[in-house]
Amino acid sequence: MKNILIVYVFLFATAFAAAQKPSGSTRQNVTLNPNSGYANVTEATFGYGVAGTTMPYSLQYYGFTSSHGYQLNIYGLNLSTNLFMGLGSGLLFYKEGNLIPAFVDFRFTWDKKKIEPFLYGNSGFLFGVKNLDENTKLFINGGGGIRFRIDEAFALSLGTGLLLQMGTSRATFLNVKAGVSYKLNRY
């Protein structure tokens, strides 16, 4: 009985010793950063129609959008990424009138350095200010860009992509976005 107890104590001790991270090891555990939390992305945007430009609301637009959401910071496996998910709105100015976007915004950023690449995608509705029934549209917008970190809470971004809007007609825009990101609990 005494021998069995000694064997169990030995196995228990070696199991805990093997589970420890060796000193000087560069291997990083996959964890969530405790600094995950609220983030805001506010951008000025411009779009130039590249397809379906003969219909109203299809030649060009400019305006601003703002997204508020949650940024999840992920570290590990020699990666340093974050995923932003939020809801946004704004105001877009067309020659024919104004549209108000309401959308879901996703952004994926990796290589947390001073200058870092990102991909974005957002989709939602464009509500007509003049005539809600005829001017309301669906849209999908995807693209990529770079983000330049100013400090631990702020970053500037510049991106480009394609925006497809669908309603009574379809139109495609090449769009450019320039903005600022704010992270409440640091990047």
**DSSP-assigned letters across all residues of 34-77:** TT-EEEEEEEEEEEEEEESTTSTT-SEEEEEEEEEEEEEEEEET
pLDDT (0 to 100) of residue 132? 81
Express each pLDDT in 105-161 by its tens digit.
999 988 667 898 999 999 999 999 888 888 899 999 999 999 998 887 889 999 999
pLDDT (0 to 100) of residue 5? 63
pLDDT (0 to 100) of residue 166? 92
Say how far apart CA 139 and CA 104 lie, in whole Å: 11
pLDDT (0 to 100) of residue 187? 47
pLDDT (0 to 100) of residue 183? 86
pLDDT (0 to 100) of residue 129? 86
In angstroms, the first-to-last Cα distance of the chain is 56
pLDDT (0 to 100) of residue 30? 41
Q: Please give the C-alpha separations between residue 33 and each of 120, 169, 182, in angstroms, as whole numbers.
A: 21, 44, 17
pLDDT (0 to 100) of residue 137? 92
pLDDT (0 to 100) of residue 6? 67
Average pLDDT, the chain: 83
pLDDT (0 to 100) of residue 31? 41
Q: Which amino acid is at 76?
A: G
Say whether pLDDT at 17 is over 60: no
Output 146 or 169, whichever has higher pLDDT: 146
Helices in the chain by DSSP H: which ranges?
2-18, 132-135
Express each pLDDT in 50-98 by its tens digit.
987 788 888 999 999 999 999 887 776 666 678 899 999 999 999 999 9
Output 18 or 6, whichever has higher pLDDT: 6
The count of other CB atoms within 10 Å of the CB of residue 39 is 25
Output 47 or 112, whichever has higher pLDDT: 47
**Two tokens, residue 77:** 């496996």
